[in-house]
Amino acid sequence: MGSKGYKKSYGKAAYKNKLQTSYLTDIKDFMWLLMQNLDVLMSALMLVLVFYIFVRRKFSNWKPGKKS
């Protein structure tokens, strides 16, 4: 799909409007993709958090039972 031809035949306003609507549909598609893959994203986030906490505990001198 050539954007130059569209701009030439329909003028700047229509081209701008088309850009805006395509941008909005892209956002909608992205949100729908997020909603579909929410469980995958959440499990990945949990794994990253657990790994981060584990590494923090492993490589720091903080001990869970020790009084500060």
Q: Which of 1, 25, 22 is nearest to 14 (CA)?
A: 22
Residue with tokens 């609507």: 21
Number of domains in the chain: 1
* Alpha-carbon span 23 to 29, nearest angstrom: 10
The closest of 27, 6, 28 to 15, measured between CA atoms, is 6
Q: What is the pTM of this model?
A: 0.40
**Local confidence pLDDT in tens for the 68 residues of the chain:** 455 555 555 566 666 666 667 777 888 888 888 888 888 889 999 999 999 998 888 877 766 665 54
For residue 54, tell me if it sits in a domain.
yes
pLDDT of residue 67: 56
Residue 63 in domain: no
Q: Which domain holds residue 21?
A: 3-58
* pLDDT of 62: 64
Considering the domain boundaries, does residue 67 fall inside one?
Answer: no
Say what the alpha-carbon torsion angle 6, 7, 9, 10 is, to the nearest 10 degrees: 100
Residue 68 lies in a domain: no
